[in-house]
Amino acid sequence: MTRWLETAIEKYRFVFGLFILFIVDLIWVLSSELTKFIYQDADYNKPFFTTYFKTALFSLYLLGFLWKKSWRKMCTAPTLEYEPSQDIADEHANLDSLGVSRFSVREVSSLAITFCLLWFIGNYSYQAALSDTEAGIVNVLSSSSSLFTLIFAAFLPSSTLDRFTLSKLVAVILSIIGVALVSYSDLKIEKGFPVGAIWSLVGAVSYAGYLVVFKYKVNDESALDIRMFFGFVGLMNTIILWPGFFLLHFSGEESFQLPNRNQFLYILVNGLVGTVVSEALWLWGCFLTSSLVGTLAMSLTIPLSMLADGIVKGIDYSFLFYIGAIPLLFAFVAVTVLSKFDNADPVGDWIKRICCRKLENTDRDKVKHESEQREFLLSESDSAL
């Protein structure tokens, strides 16, 4: 009975995690379109300022110290064994939380310092890409983080769902093919060196590294309060990265200019919904599924972005773009199905069967050859007698 309950809860967690990731995809598509609107129509093309401001909004999560007694107690208490609260309705949270060491406030802040720069690079690269090319292109190339996630997770697996398999490798190769096709179509759209595509790929590597290393250090969502973590990420970025304004301003890369009231309102809404809420939901969805599923879920932004760009903005993508989007979507579906069925590896099993069959045939031929040799030697011996 207990085994059946654990299996049922695992399936529920996985499906619920997929639902959360889908909601995040919707938010990200709307956020990317709003970002393009801010850069072009609202005439405020400042990727560093918008990224810095939206990241600083994470600090709002730290207001939780005002009303959450558990957070304030963690400021003075050492690392404790986490005991499930009576308020938790989810039975699986109680099962998972047993024996899991909860991070102290000092440990959460230290973890935030470790990851804040990597997260900022990934987010800034995404914003910079949106300033150079269309949202559909950016979202397609950002989904290539699945390749880097597969590679990183092979060295730093946080769970069995992150185990390397040949089937996942094939799915990621399909994703790379799609990225190559879309990048080629981006050359035609940007009419020159694909700066937006390069920024998108830099962001993909950063996101993959951030997620895999984070899940390796914190492999259970009940061990860490995600809101507190992002609150410290926002605070650390605000403190550390302000010199970037001077560097970019005096280098001529991005002149410093405060937004007007309308521009500020757009950035504020985009930051609260498209960054503060969505990033916490995305990390939660990755905890409930796996690192690879979480990054491949970005592929779902592709058809949504294409729909938004085509209907709202009337952008006409080339046929090559649509062809490239197909293997990206297929890769996400394939890895999701493989993870759902106990990390199945049909490609690896198929190769094993072929190798075993070949070895059996080789052994059979060897036995047959030896038998024929013995018969020949016996016949030669009889004829000599």
Nearest 10 degrees: CA dihedral of 332, 338, 339, 344? -160
For residue 167, the model assigns a pLDDT of 80
Q: Which of 5-19, 156-170, 179-193, 294-308 has the lowest mean pLDDT?
A: 179-193
φ/ψ of 3, rounded to 5, equals -65, -40
Greater confidence (257 vs 324) lies with: 257
Q: Provide the residue ranges of all domains of the chain, joining segments of one domain with +.
A: 2-344, 345-385
CA distances to 139, 207, 257 from 32, rounded to whole Å, are 9, 16, 22
Nearest to 208 by CA among 324, 295, 81, 297: 295
Is the CB of residue 61 less than 8 Å from the CB of residue 227? yes
Task: Provide the 10 A C-beta neighbour count for residue 78.
Answer: 8
CA 39 to chain centre: 25
Residues 22-64: pLDDT tens digits? 899 889 888 888 888 898 888 898 989 999 999 999 999 998 8
Q: What is the pTM of this model?
A: 0.70
Angle in degrees, 0-180, between the axes of helices 47-56 and 105-132, rounded to the nearest 10: 150
Q: How far apart are CA 39 and CA 46, in angstroms?
A: 7
The predicted-structure confidence for 150-168, as pLDDT tens digits, reads as follows 778 777 776 666 677 788 7
Q: How far apart are CA 207 and CA 145, in angstroms?
A: 7
Give tens-digit pLDDT for 291-311: 767 777 776 676 677 667 677
Q: What are residue 259's phi and psi, to 5 degrees?
A: -75, 155
